[in-house]
A and B are shown apart, each in its own frame.
Chain A
Amino acid sequence: MTFEPRLLIRHTLCRLFPGIVLLLAFVMLLASPPASAEYGDVVLNKRAEKAGMRPVIFPHWFHRIRFRCRVCHTEVGFEIRAGSNNILMADIIEGRFCGKCHNNKIAWGPQNCQLCHSGLPGLEGGVRGGPTTGGPSKW
């Protein structure tokens, strides 16, 4: 049997064919365009999906039209760094964190589950909408 380099390459490629197709599909998935979420949208999924709910999506743009940053990041007590807040549903119902406003007095109450728990299953937590700085948004 003679060793022709061209034949060898071809045979190796043919043997690897399914693997290469799978790899290409994976690479194409990675290279897909970033999600077109609105700038500043935050996905919260530390607990939601483990508890059988959709991830929470917090829209910064909606809230900053109505409140200045200080209200939530000082008065209500949200840390600025994404990922450093531990928000339990019990906290919200008892009037802490989101529940300071989402209490049927200032804004609609926590019985409207589907308005916050509206994310696609499997989303990773963090700041979305094309964040251009890294670090804490990736926590």
Chain B
Amino acid sequence: MRRYILHRLWQGAVAVVGALLIVFVAQRLSGDPVALLLPMDATEADFEAMRSALGLDRPLPVQFVVFLRDALLGDFGHSYLWNMPAMDLVLERLPATLELALAGLVFALALAVPLGVLSAVHRGGWIDNAAKLFAMLGQAMPGFWVGLLLIVFVAVQLQWLPAYGRGTVGHLVLPAIALGWYPVAAMTRTLRSAMLDIMQSDYVRMERAIGLPERAIVWRFALRNAAVPLVTLIGVYFANMLGGAFVIEVVFAWPGVGRAVVEAVFARDFPVVQAGVILAAVIFVVVNLIVDLTYGLIDPRIRHE
């Protein structure tokens, strides 16, 4: 197990550096950040001076090596725009993103698990049809649109919850629903499909034969076995929520990492983009490792060698 974890961490480190290299090259192909920093009337001399001050006048390979060296020493550079260390800028927004992603995940699971299980148990019934309709709507309606609808109806018309911002549990509800909306659909469908397979398996028939209550069969035994693909989805969506909640963060004025990094992409604020990519890549690696290790806990037949 220890060897497996070390091997996965090594693979993760290679993936992080690889992602960084791609982003490093791609963002430099996207244009000169100095054009965005200087006013329209700046001269070529002003451009050269600013490029030199930011270290952008060096050859690209030198810039990358210098960046990697500094990053290993814990220095991820200074934001061109915010005048502060890039990693600090990203990390200070991480709690907000974690909070939103966790809330979104809780919302998604709170809906997807009962819906997926009940629709499988009552296959063809009204619950199943309702769950399928819900799943279809979930995948057809983008989260930002759901967010705008929630703002218009729940915040403006009904005045039940705040329309934007962060601070109280009330502020968290609408963005969490908007963020968790899409995963609900995918999780429900996946869980329903897995439950349908499991419910027809021999051991479930055996459990029924020995007289176990149906509720225990469904919720204690079948759900545990059907949870493996769900855990995979949880890992994927949680990592996506952490790194890709940008649109929801903009809609609800939520001060998270995604919004900071995407704004940095448009502003060509290279150090912030790089810091954000490192953070996102590390999160993906760690979450996927946790998901892989969780398989063994759910299903003891799965062992990592």
The answer to whether A and B assemble together is: no
